[in-house]
A and B are shown apart, each in its own frame.
Chain A
Amino acid sequence: MEKVDCIIVGGGLAGLSAAYGLASEGLEVMVVERGDYSGAKNVTGGRLYLSPIRDIYPELWESAPFERPVTRELVTLMGDGASTTIELASDRFATAPHQSYTVLRARLDQWLADQVMEKGGMVITKNRVDEILMEGDKVIGIRAGGDDIGADVTIIAEGVLGLLSSKVGLREQPTARDHALGYKEILELPSSVIQDRWHLNEGEGAAHLFMGEVTKGMMGGGFLYTNKDSISLGIVVGMEAMRERTEKVESHTLLDAFKELPHIRPLVEGGTLVEYSAHAIPEGGIAKVPKLFGDGYLMVGDAAGLALNALLTVRGMDFAIASGFYAARAVADAKNRGDCSAAGLAQYEQSLRSSFVLKDLETAKEIPHIMENPRLFTHYPQAVSGLLEKLYTIGPHPSQKLSSTVIGGVRKDFMNARTLKELLAMRKI
């Protein structure tokens, strides 16, 4: 059996990040990617938070094909026929170094694959890994296209579904409760139109999230990110939430309805639809992170459930890149010591625990439970928008005192046992 130092299953951001680290150390590394090119099977909303990973591979980011730095953050709470938008325009977000960028995966991942190859790493595309090869509890390599290839360490970067690793018992199969479906349209718009429409200076970008009616009250939300010459407009919806809803909704129709909303239509007007894509998203939080290492293997990125939806911030790619980085360090050290057993690779989990990756997931551990409450996507967006609508309304009859309207609204929608209990529970997040 042909053998290399390290095989990486999947050429997405986690796998490529690991490959880049290993190739930089001079190790023999082979990435096996099933797409025609890296990124061909990958989808983001999306935005990459660069701040947490800027110091990892600091030389890399200067040349990265980012779309726009996000300088404007918007969130809309959508009630029934009325919605409330909060907008944050921060001078700090508009000043370099920028904390986050909108990205497109086919571009970003191909670029990272090029960087890996420049460092001497192998990226083999158009090849699906068919099996993870085991010898007892030890991972010894892979089978792809009828060939067996051995490795001292196999890094499993196969993505959210974990088809190969769950088959050999390295993790559980994904469940509807812990996963969401994300899907989006890319609509091309001239750069100048994007800047006018979202009140941006040249080169700057906006990120806009939507909660409430957009998912018909199901867990999830809508998103809109501005790219260089396009926008990414899409929906994330909990898989269990879709199944639990009494009146079933065909997922694809949510996006059409979203585009038709009176306050969204002018934003997408004139956009040319060029691509429709979909992907599953891990949302189980730290409770669903599998065993991260064992004899001869490490798990990174989405395959390890390393993603965090914290309502206002949605992250995954930064975790993927960081986990790849720490995986590479652990493998390089294990190789130096000549011990690629679980004990030899244990440093990987320790580094994740002392880095933002597992720390942020730990901090956010209550969020998945809070998000299971459907009222977050029905009652609250409606209550906020309903109250504001009342405050702005001048009817044919004499108006109430402003304070009475506010107190009445707050009393009705927020000062009841159920809501107070929920707000109390939200302290945990």
Chain B
Amino acid sequence: MNIEAKLGLDVFKIDKERHITIDVEVCNRVCTDKACLYVCPAHLYEIDDQGNNTVNFEGCLECGTCLISCDHQALDWHYPRGEYGVQYRMG
């Protein structure tokens, strides 16, 4: 089962408001490693056609690994508002 299908099994309550924002300028200019691309267990980070880093915040498991792994403060990351985000049924 691929990662998108796995995330499809989880319960998400998706907010209109995004809880992760990438500072694309910092990301492009300073960061060579882009750890977020491979550390994220939900594989939510992707480089788009323009070469910019993007994140599909809707599938976020809220572990914070991308935030901890980013040395350049390129992520504005907070928990989704109350009532939103992943809701584990088993955990």
Contacts and interface: CB of A to CB of B under 8 A. Distances in A.
Contacts of A200: none
Given A126-B82, A252-B42, A273-B9, A278 B63 contact: yes
B89 interface: yes
Interface stretch (A31-39, A203-211, A401-409): A31-39
B67 to A, nearest CB: 7
B87 interface: yes
B81 A128 contact: yes
A264 to B, nearest CB: 15
A248 B33 CA distance: 10
Nearest to A177: B68
B25 interface: no
Contacts of A125: 82
B63 to A, nearest CB: 4
Interface in B33-91: 33, 35, 37-43, 61-65, 67-69, 78-83, 85-91
Contacts of A109: 91
Contacts of A163: 78-79
Contact of B63 (A35, A127, A181): A181
B contacts with A: majority SS:
loop
Interface residues of B, number: 37
B64 A161 contact: yes
Given A161-B67, A179-B68, A39 B91 contact: yes
A173 to B, nearest CB: 8
Interface residues of A, number: 49
Nearest to A186: B90
Contact of B90 (A174, A249, A252, A275): A275
A276 B7 contact: yes
B39 A251 contact: yes
Given A279-B63, A280-B63, A41 B83 contact: no
From A36, A127, A161, A276, residue with most partner B Cβ within 10 Å: A276
Contacts of B85: 34, 41
Contacts of B63: 181, 183, 278-280
Interface of B: 1, 3, 6-7, 9-10, 13, 33, 35, 37-43, 61-65, 67-69, 78-83, 85-91
23 contacts: A35-B87, A36-B13, A39-B88, A42-B91, A105-B90, A105-B91, A106-B89, A127-B82, A145-B82, A163-B78, A174-B64, A242-B35, A242-B69, A251-B39, A273-B9, A274-B9, A274-B90, A276-B7, A276-B9, A276-B10, A277-B61, A278-B63, A279-B63
